């Protein structure tokens, strides 16, 4: 009888160990999933920030190019008008 009780106790201990191992494994899996989700979110945020920065740079470059083209056109028109005025006056 005593031997049976000891075996039963060992079985209970084994069940406790199995439950503890399962709990530890579940906790580790949850922690790994949370870390992976956080890393993915950080990567997505970094990609979005990089895309926004690139879009802003492209917009600034386009605006600068438009301003330069407008300034060049205005300078050419003013030059032509000044030459016409000089020709008309002379």
pLDDT at 13: 64
- Report whether pLDDT(12) > 60: no
Which sign, positive or negative, has the C-alpha torsion 63, 69, 72, 73? negative
pTM of the model: 0.53
Residue 88 pLDDT class (50, 70, 90 cuts): confident
How far is residue 47's CA from residue 42's CA, in Å, rounded to a whole number? 9
* Cα atoms found within 13 Å of the Cα of residue 20, Cβ hemisphere only: 6
* Cα atoms found within 13 Å of the Cα of residue 29, Cβ hemisphere only: 6
Token pair belonging to 3: 């031997």
Compute the average pLDDT of residues 50-72.
96
In the predicted model, what is the mean pLDDT of the chain? 87
């Amino acid at each position: 009888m005593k031997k049976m009780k000891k075996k039963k106790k060992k079985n209970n201990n084994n069940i406790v160990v199995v439950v503890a191992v399962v709990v530890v494994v579940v906790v580790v899996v949850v922690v790994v999933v949370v870390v992976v989700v956080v890393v993915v979110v950080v990567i997505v945020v970094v990609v979005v920030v990089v895309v926004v920065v690139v879009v802003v740079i492209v917009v600034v470059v386009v605006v600068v190019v438009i301003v330069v083209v407008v300034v060049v056109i205005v300078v050419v028109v003013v030059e032509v008008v000044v030459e016409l005025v000089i020709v008309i006056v002379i």
